Chains A and B, each alone.
Chain A
Amino acid sequence: MIPCLDVTAGRVVKGTNFVDLVDAGDPVELGCRYDAEGADELVFLDITASSDDRATTVEMVRNVADHVYIPFTVGGGIRTLENARTMLRAGADKVSVNTAAVQRPELIEEIAAEFGSQCVVCAIDAKRRIEEERDRGWDGTWEVYLHGGRTPTGIDAIEWVTRAVELGAGEILLTSMDRDGTRAGFDLELTAAVTTVVDVPVIASGGVGTLDHLVDGVVEGGADAVLAASIFHFGEHRVADAKTAMAAAGVTVRPADSSAD
């Protein structure tokens, strides 16, 4: 169970499609809270682009590493080996690459060669391909999108996942752009299509609205881990509730720590 925290200028924010951002708290405070509630890992996504804010993010990573004692991944804006090095040296356990890796796949190889595959998460934003011309609906495949889902690439998602793993990605963070923000549940067909073709852990993301959706991601989608953001930040559900729901559905999970300080 992996809570995801979008950060900008050192704060956790919540918004829809990168607009109407609402402050959701301090990254260290939220990280500690999720740790105490039983989160297995954390993902921080830097959703800003300006270089000033990048420096703030490095500082944030250092702070998180000093206070939060579970593994965490940092993504968003990792464009070069040097960016990855900076985040890993600041204390991140893994970095996640997305747009830059599609544009220059060798980036995955470079980070894996220096730090090992276990440090490289390949984040993929995939969207169902619609045959608009003849109005025939979904053609049964998914396309990779960049820039937070705004830019289509023409690249088949399953082909890209396979390639990314060959290049050394140690984990796949798979987001359905059709479901992201909808609260309608994961695109389970997408999750299953990816988990059956790769032998590295797959984290399902995009669309979680209820605790049952998390269970579905593992049981039906075959995901190794599930990621969610908004259902946790404002106390709607606690990570511990998600763990309880999964355990009740027969999924082996590390239970929430009942002795939390």
Chain B
Amino acid sequence: MTTGTPLIAVLDYGIGNLHSAQKALARQGADARLTADPGLIADAAGVVLPGVGAFGACMDALRGAGLDEAAHAAAASGRPFLGICVGMQMLFTASEEDSAAPGLGVIPGAVQWIPAGPKIPQMQWNRLALEHPDDPMFERLVDDPADPIWVYFVHSLHGVPDDDGVVAATVEYGSTVNAAFRLHNVFATQFHPEKSSRPGLRLLGNFVDVCTRA
């Protein structure tokens, strides 16, 4: 591994389109690879768990690819770990979307339906309210700290951790909806940084920086 070019393993378990996340990380200077190779995942400076679609289907696919243990081990290893969308949801203990499919249990808590009221899914850009403004993942997402941080969401459920101190950011969508989480080395977003234009790319760049320093 070249210094300054961290190897980042983007877990490839055969669902949907994972290229955007990998390409965006590469553009931010990482040696980002879509992979299902446990050896590569164990060697990586950082690990990304993406996901789109249904919780149960993603958990099944992750297990089917034999990557549930690799994901769990990576999150427990202390190395930088990033979960995105359903990848974030799978870090929780369980989801109301599919009670038959337990999650990875990295973040104690449940994934719950967005409270009734607004259109479901939330499929739009929304403004983050930062609960942990000093988190290195939120560094310089916008030029002026007073500027709102708009990011892109597609989701019907959101994570509700047992310890609400884990919530790193929220958005208003009918009610307050949890948008990002921080637990030790694990950071996870309900939104899609790889689809959130400049602030999203900067967040992924921050992840690359954290991996470089780790």
Does B associate with A? yes
Q: Is the CB of B119 within 8 A of A201?
A: yes
B24's nearest neighbour on chain A, judged by CB, is A69
Check B54 for interface membership: any CB of A closer than 8 A.
Answer: yes
Q: Is the CB of A88 within 8 A of B197?
A: no
Instruction: Pick the residue among A69, A90, A199 that contacts B196 (CB under 8 A).
Output: A69
Q: Which of A11-19, A46-54, A251-259 contacts B (4 or more CB under 8 A)?
A: A251-259
Check A40 for interface membership: any CB of B closer than 8 A.
Answer: yes
A residues less than 8 Å from B198 (CB atoms): 257, 259-260
Check B123 for interface membership: any CB of A closer than 8 A.
Answer: yes
Interface of B is mostly: mixed
> With contacts A170-B123, A199-B119, A201-B123 known, is A69 near B197, CB below 8 A?
yes
Restricting to B131-151, which residues have a CB under 8 Å from any CB of A?
142-143, 148, 150
| A227-261 near B? 1/0 per residue, CB < 8 Å | 00000000000000000000000000011011110
B residues less than 8 Å from A182 (CB atoms): none
How many B residues touch A, CB cutoff 8 Å? 28
Q: Which of B12-20, B64-72, B103-111 contacts A (4 or more CB under 8 A)?
A: B12-20
Smallest beta-carbon distance A172→chain B, Å = 12
Check A138 for interface membership: any CB of B closer than 8 A.
Answer: no
| B18-61 near A? 1/0 per residue, CB < 8 Å | 01100110000000000000000000000000001110000000
What's the Cα separation between A259 and B142 when bound, in Å? Answer: 8
B residues less than 8 Å from A170 (CB atoms): 121, 123
Smallest beta-carbon distance B63→chain A, Å = 20
A residues less than 8 Å from B53 (CB atoms): 115-116
Instruction: Pick the residue among A66, A69, A88, A115 that contacts B195 (CB under 8 A).
Output: A69
What's the Cα separation between A92 and B20 when bound, in Å? Answer: 10
Q: Is the CB of A69 within 8 A of B17?
A: no
B residues less than 8 Å from A181 (CB atoms): none
Q: Is the CB of B119 within 8 A of A200?
A: yes
Q: Is the CB of B19 within 8 A of A71?
A: no
B residues less than 8 Å from A89 (CB atoms): 16-17
What's the Cα separation between A92 and B17 when bound, in Å? Answer: 8
Check B113 for interface membership: any CB of A closer than 8 A.
Answer: no
19 A-B contacts (beta carbon < 8 Å): A62-B19, A65-B17, A65-B19, A65-B23, A66-B23, A67-B23, A69-B201, A71-B195, A88-B16, A88-B17, A93-B17, A115-B53, A116-B53, A170-B123, A201-B123, A201-B124, A254-B125, A259-B142, A259-B143
Q: Which 7 A-B pairs have the closest CB atoms?
A: A254-B150, A259-B143, A254-B125, A66-B23, A71-B195, A118-B154, A70-B197
A interface residues (Cβ-Cβ under 8 A, vs B): 35, 40, 62, 65-67, 69-71, 88-93, 115-118, 170-171, 199-201, 224, 254-255, 257-260
B interface residues (Cβ-Cβ under 8 A, vs A): 16-17, 19-20, 23-24, 52-54, 119, 121, 123-125, 142-143, 148, 150, 152, 154, 192, 194-198, 200-201
